[in-house]
């Protein structure tokens, strides 16, 4: 159905791009055939590195006219295969569009190209005493990918998700036209919000070539509480009580001893405590120690009343750093111990305990180790079935069964298939199953309004 | 093109609704032929009051099959004509779907029907020590209308707009099917965000029949600062400096003496001060007086450095109330003095001064009094050309000229046609002029995915 790449197409690309930015055949590194998820290996026919909106526009116009599929790509840190070139064609890599274009302190905005890394943004704005709140674990992700998955991260409890910090976008449509949506304006009630439609669309509607991000003043102080509990159920059941107590921590994470021990081994560093079965990790931020103390004292008391063994307070940068770097290493530590796959469901906050219990309970039935950690405070769980020493066939059978059960449970709890990692192709069957036909047809209708030829990132979400 | 209502249609409606909920012909009150804006008078052929999602669904299914246009309607407090039945047909009024369905304190959500009034929500959640931040001036608006215009209000500087507080929606599609989008979940990365598309779509894509709203803990304390300046330019030029100083007030409003005097006359109550030409009105909220004081002391100092005469502090509920009730009466006071029309542009915060100056400067050229007040802190201006004693023809000629100039200026400053009141039919020509054909075609394509027969609220935005 799609046109295959031939020499004429390569010649065209070389009129726009330097030779080093057009990679074909065996020269394409295997990294570009998958994302961070273990999954299908699919190579694009040609991999191009773009440097400007104009180049993106010209390539899309050509691809559109010639019916060539295009897969936009950032750092490839995704976990659901959204940036894999399922149909070959052109992989359009935006990592070299990595400039910070403008810090506007009077409007509190930062204008960036899509290839700027999250860690670069964090560091840059902090140097100016400003703050970009979304904080996914993967700091080497590019902002373009974060926008395309509406990434969430640790600080969503208090600060919300990527969507809440995207003020405006420059996008290239599938036919090569460039549009601007939103801007530096704080409010907007001028037609359907194309901006909010592109955010979270997994690169299917348009290619983001510039983003205007909303910033906040940097909170002057942060304190973390590490709270050991006798078991996970007790820990997680405490979370809705914290929310109900009207304290809103910046982050509420839950973790089990096994994840901590794994991270200690992986990092070669000791966590402040690993003697309990389960932990809540809370962060509070604000502009003064007193303000934060007032907040966390109530929460600490509440946790002790709910059965916590203790409340360990990390009020130095060093202790904070040691705790949060361990938290950031959980996924890598799991991956180092076994091949894994991931379920990134989100459920209402008061259903987290029930869902996590469910993932524990089904382990004997499905015959897999299933470990989890995640954002208890916002209901977004990261659940990891482990392959261990199973053969591929058994692993996939058991994995499918585990996914079937978990996604069905998430639906029962009024949850959604993905909280922050997106659907891609890997979670597509579960996503489609979670919606009725009318809903999927709406998505297809929207896609068709943007991309009647379905050339931009086909095969994802609902195909 | 659309089918006209006949007795058979009325008979059908009477199988679903009680007699008192189906109003036809001369029995339709003139209020339902326009909104709060002085504009065209257009009656629906039949006005119905619905009580349930099921009724909405049945009526839409019937209308869809019979090609009858439907205009959803809440309190009719809009200012751009979005809820006026331009093509006759059925006006579907949701004011009797006015129940608060659930307060969920563990998930911090409030589930409501669309006809619940803003003031009802505010009072209800405050009684539970909770807070629904969006705060448009018109407290008698229904939440459904607020969702459809992505209403903003005074507290957007710190807290954002309606979109930021809509977690989930139940909607009836034009063909009568019911869909749920979002939910109680805090994060979501599961397909294009239909929820965010429906928010702000002015009732053109679906009829909102239920909304799950996000709440926050109620700030324990609020303090307002009334800051007199020698002139408006000096006042407004101070705003980006406040933002740059990394203090984020809850609200930053600007006003001129004339608006204050008008409100005093209208309300028969004295404002704390009316001796200066221009004022900034700031609100700060937080959980303790010390926390708020720390915030506002810097800002007060900054304002004095920028030329303010004084900083008047309102730290009692009574003084706060007297100031903000006057602020809330500006529009009514203008309306009492003359027929007016409105321009609700939003520009980047650092362009507010330039835009307001422009509206002052064009008065002699267009031959109209043009008064403004608005949300200096978020760049959303409410600018009111006054008819005074002009005849209709002259008024409309001059008004068109004023709008042409102002919307052109807004475009030049990278602003948008509407910050919070929507486009409706009244601002439609200016909206269309502000976007290119590609953009408008995207909107039409999206509309077509939801409503291929274009029966739901036709004639708005881009027609």
- Where residue A402 sits, what CATH number does that domain have? 3.30.70.2740
Residue B406: its pLDDT value, please? 97
- Give A149's contacts in chain B (Cβ within 8 Å): 189
Residue B103, classed as helix, strand or coil, is: strand
Residues A238 and A133 placed together within one structural domain of the fold: no
Confidence bin at B38 (pLDDT 50/70/90): low
- Per mean pLDDT, which of A329-333, A442-446, B232-236 is the most reliable? A442-446
pLDDT band at residue A68 using 50, 70 and 90 as cut-offs = very high
Please name every residue paired with B385 in a beta bridge, in sequence order, or none if there are none.
B370
> Is B348 in Cβ contact with A380 (below 8 Å)?
no
Instruction: List the one residue out of A415, A397, A316 whose CA is nearest residue A358.
Output: A415
Does the distance separating the beta carbons of A287 and B290 come in below 8 Å? no
pLDDT for the residue numbered B199: 98
pLDDT (mean) for A336-360? 93
User: Is the pLDDT at A318 greater than 90, yes or no?
Assistant: no
The answer as to whether A138 is a domain residue is yes
- Tell me, yes or no, whether A291 lies in a domain: yes
Collect all residues of chain A within an 8 Å Cβ-Cβ radius of residue B248.
216-217
pLDDT for res B287: 87
B435 located within any domain: no
Co-location of B327 and B235 in the same domain: yes
CATH number at residue A248: 3.30.70.2190
Question: Looking at CA atoms only, how far is residue A270 from chain B in angstroms?
Answer: 31
Average pLDDT over residues A177-199: 95
Average pLDDT, chain B: 95
Contact A192 B443 (CB under 8 A): yes
pLDDT band at A453 (very low <50, low <70, confident <90, very high): very high
Whether residue B461 contacts residue B431, with contact meaning beta carbons closer than 8 Å, is answered with yes
Please give the C-alpha separations between residue B315 and each of B153, B227, B282, B301, B376, in angstroms, as whole numbers. Answer: 22, 14, 12, 17, 22
pLDDT single digits (tens) A34-54: 999 867 899 999 999 999 999
pLDDT of residue A38: 64
Q: Tell me what the mean pLDDT of segment A187-200 comes to.
A: 96
Both A178 and A107 in a single domain? yes
Q: Structural domain of residue A279, as residue ranges?
A: 221-331
Smallest Cβ–Cβ distance between A421 and the set B189, B240, B349 belongs to B189
Residues of A whose CB is below 8 A from B194? 439, 442-443
* pLDDT value at residue A326: 86
CATH code (residue B136): 3.30.465.10
Facing residue for A349 by CB, picked from B106, B151, B344 = B106
Q: Say what the pLDDT of residue A360 is.
A: 93
Residue B434 pLDDT exceeds 70:
yes
* B386 lies in the same domain as B282: no
Residue A290: the pLDDT is 87
ipTM of the prediction? 0.95
DSSP state of A338: S
Of chain A, the end-to-end C-alpha distance in Å amounts to: 15
Domain end, chosen from B163, B189, B217, is at B217
Q: Do A423 and B350 touch (CB under 8 A)?
A: no
Please indicate, yes or no, whether residues B354 and B281 belong to a single structural domain of this protein.
no
Number of domains in chain B: 4
Residue listed under structure tokens 């604000």: A286
Query: How high is the mean pLDDT of chain A?
Result: 95
pLDDT tens column, A361-377: 999 999 999 999 889 99
Task: Please tell me the predicted confidence (pLDDT) of residue B131.
Answer: 97
Residue B347 lies in a domain: yes
pLDDT tens-digit series, residues B197-225? 999 999 999 999 999 999 999 999 999 99
In a domain, B175, yes or no: yes
User: Could you count the other beta carbons within 10 Å of the beta carbon of residue A309?
Assistant: 16
A240 CA to centre of own chain: 24
Picking from B43, B71, B96, the residue at the C-terminal end of a domain is: B96
Question: Do B256 and B346 fall within a single domain?
Answer: no
Query: A200 and A128 in one domain?
Result: yes
Mean pLDDT of B316-329: 86
In the predicted structure, residue A428 carries a pLDDT above the cut 90:
yes
Give residue A288's pLDDT: 87
Longest dimension (CA), chain B: 71
**β-bridge mates for residue B24, sequence order:** B46
Which CATH number belongs to the domain containing residue A65 in this structure?
Answer: 3.30.43.10
Please state the rounded mean pLDDT for residues B355-372: 95
Q: Which residues neighbour B149 within 8 Å (Cβ) at sequence distance 6 or greater?
A: A189, B78, B82, B162, B200, B202, B420, B421, B422
Q: In what order do the strands lie in the sheet with A100-104?
A: A100-104, A109-112, A207-214, A166-172, A178-182
Angle at B405 between CA B399 and CA B409, to 5 degrees: 140
**B240: which chain A residues are within 8 Å (Cβ-Cβ)?**
106-107
pLDDT value of residue B224: 95
Q: How confident is the model at residue B320 (pLDDT cuts 50, 70, 90)?
A: confident
Last residue of a domain, one of B175, B199, B217: B217
Q: Is residue B2 part of a domain?
A: no
Percentage of chain A exceeding pLDDT 70: 100
Is A244–B419 a contact, with Cβ atoms under 8 angstroms apart?
Answer: no
Region B95-103: mean pLDDT is 98
pLDDT tens for A114-155 read 999 999 999 999 999 999 999 998 999 999 999 999 999 999
Q: Do A165 and A120 share a structural domain?
A: yes
Q: By mean pLDDT, which of A21-25, A270-274, B143-147, B422-426 is the weakest? A: A270-274
The DSSP symbol for A37 reads S
B229 and B305 co-located in one domain: yes
pLDDT in tens, B277-288: 999 999 999 988
Number of residues that this document lists for chain A: 463
Q: Is the dihedral angle over the CA atoms B29, B30, B36, B41 positive or is it negative?
A: positive
In this structure, is residue B462 part of a structural domain?
no
Within a domain: B261: yes
Q: Where are the alpha helices (DSSP H) in A285-343?
A: 289-305, 317-328, 330-337
CB spacing of B184 vs A160 below 8 angstroms: no
Rounded to a whole number of angstroms, the distance from the CA of A184 to the nearest CA of chain B is 5
- Regarding whether A123 and A87 lie in a shared domain, the answer is no
Number of C-beta neighbours around residue B319 at 10 A: 16
Considering the domain architecture, whether residues A212 and A284 belong to the same structural domain is answered as: no
In this complex, which of A348, A414, A449 lies closest to B445 when CB atoms are compared? Answer: A449
Query: Are B189 and A439 a contacting pair at CB < 8 A?
Result: no
- B273 and B302 part of one domain: yes
Q: What percent of chain A has pLDDT over 90?
A: 86
């Amino acid at each position: 159905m799609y046109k295959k790449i031939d020499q004429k197409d390569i010649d065209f690309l070389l009129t726009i791009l330097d030779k080093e930015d057009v990679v074909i055949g065996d020269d394409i590194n295997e990294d570009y055939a998958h994302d961070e998820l273990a999954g299908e290996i699919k190579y694009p026919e040609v991999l191009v590195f773009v440097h400007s909106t104009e180049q993106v526009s010209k390539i899309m116009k050509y691809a559109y006219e010639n019916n060539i599929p295009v897969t936009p790509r950032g750092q490839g840190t995704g976990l659901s295969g959204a940036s894999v070139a399922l149909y070959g064609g052109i992989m359009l890599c935006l990592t070299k569009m990595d400039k910070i274009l403008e810090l506007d302190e009077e409007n509190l905005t930062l204008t960036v190209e899509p290839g700027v890394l999250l860690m670069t943004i964090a560091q840059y704005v902090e140097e100016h005493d400003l703050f970009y709140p979304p904080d996914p674990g993967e700091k080497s992700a590019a902002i373009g990918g974060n926008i395309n998955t509406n990434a969430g991260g640790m600080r969503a409890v208090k600060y919300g998700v990527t969507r809440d910090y995207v003020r405006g976008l420059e996008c290239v449509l599938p036919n090569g036209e460039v549009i601007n949506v939103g801007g530096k304006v704080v409010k907007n009630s001028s037609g359907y919000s194309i901006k909010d439609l592109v955010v979270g669309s997994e690169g299917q509607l348009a290619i983001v070539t510039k983003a205007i991000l909303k910033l906040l003043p940097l909170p002057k102080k942060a304190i973390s509480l590490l709270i050991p509990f006798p078991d996970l159920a007790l820990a997680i059941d405490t979370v809705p009580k914290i929310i109900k107590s009207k304290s809103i921590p910046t982050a509420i994470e839950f973790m089990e001893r096994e994840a901590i021990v794994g991270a200690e081994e992986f990092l070669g560093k000791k966590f402040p405590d690993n003697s309990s079965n389960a932990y809540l990790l809370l962060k509070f931020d604000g502009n003064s120690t007193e303000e934060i103390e007032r907040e966390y004292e109530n929460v600490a008391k509440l946790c002790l009343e709910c059965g916590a063994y203790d409340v360990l307070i990390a009020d130095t940068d060093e202790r904070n750093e040691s705790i949060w770097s361990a938290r950031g290493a959980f996924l890598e530590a799991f991956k180092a111990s076994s091949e894994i796959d991931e379920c990134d469901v989100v459920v209402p906050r008061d259903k987290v305990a029930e869902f996590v219990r469910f993932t524990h309970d089904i382990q004997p039935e499905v015959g897999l180790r299933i470990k989890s950690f995640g954002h208890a405070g916002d209901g977004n769980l990261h659940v990891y079935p482990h392959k261990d020493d199973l053969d591929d066939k058994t692993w996939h059978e058991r994995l499918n069964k585990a996914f079937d059960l978990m996604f069905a449970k998430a639906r029962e709890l009024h949850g959604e298939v993905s909280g922050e990692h997106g659907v891609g192709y890997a979670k597509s069957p579960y996503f489609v199953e979670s919606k009725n036909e009318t809903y999927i047809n709406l998505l297809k209708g929207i896609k068709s309004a943007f991309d009647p030829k379905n050339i931009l990132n086909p095969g994802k979400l609902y195909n």
